[in-house]
Amino acid sequence: MSERPLCIDFGKKRIGVAATDYLGLAARPVEVVVATPRDAAADRIAEIAKERETTVLVVGLPINMDGTVHDSDTDVRAFARRCEERTGLAVEFVDERLSTVEAQRLMNEAGLRRKGRREVVDMYAAVVILRDWMSRQA
């Protein structure tokens, strides 16, 4: 994989961030960024992108189970634009349906204690979203 993606799972309180390992073979959790203020959060995403030599931003797009646009779509797209402006990187959106459910399963498999999961579930959801994006690139 020649791309070096950084994946964002945007939430009103927390933003989960995931990236591939240096070989581009596996998606790994990176960090949870506090979502407010939005400019500071976008700045932190830009710092992480620079540190990791990111070439593309992958952003989870909230879509309802029936395929309609979720209420938070506007906020996600606005934050993605902020990140795009700060990094100069292209943004690719990925359907994030059921990513949190899958993230919970991953955390169970990893043996993470239930206490404190709320603080990291977005980071693991970003891993799920990134894995989906990676599978489409192959």
Distance of alpha carbon 12 from its chain centroid, rounded?
13
Residue 75 is part of a domain; what is its CATH number?
Answer: 3.30.420.140
**HSE (CB half, 13 Å, CA atoms) of 75?**
14
Of the candidates 65, 72, 63, the residue with the CA atom closest to the CA atom of residue 35 = 72
Give the pLDDT mean for 92-115: 79
* pLDDT score recorded for residue 97: 76
Is residue 130 within 8 A of residue 19, CB to CB? The reply is yes
Highest-confidence range of 15-24, 57-66, 84-93, 97-106, by mean pLDDT? 84-93
Specify the pLDDT at position 44.
98
Q: How many domains does the chain have?
A: 1
- For residue 95, what are the domain limits? 5-63+71-137
Question: What's the pLDDT score for residue 73?
Answer: 85
Q: What is the pLDDT of residues 27-64, one digit of tens each?
A: 999 999 999 999 999 999 999 999 999 999 999 998 87
Mean pLDDT of the chain: 89
* Gap between the Cα atoms of 13 and 35, Å rounded: 5
pLDDT for 106: 79
Encode burial over 48-72: b for 16+ CB neighbours within 10 A, e otherwise: bbeebebebbbbbbbbeeeeeeeee
pLDDT value, residue 113: 73
pTM of the model: 0.89
Q: Are 91 and 112 in contact (CB under 8 A)?
A: no
pLDDT given at position 63: 86
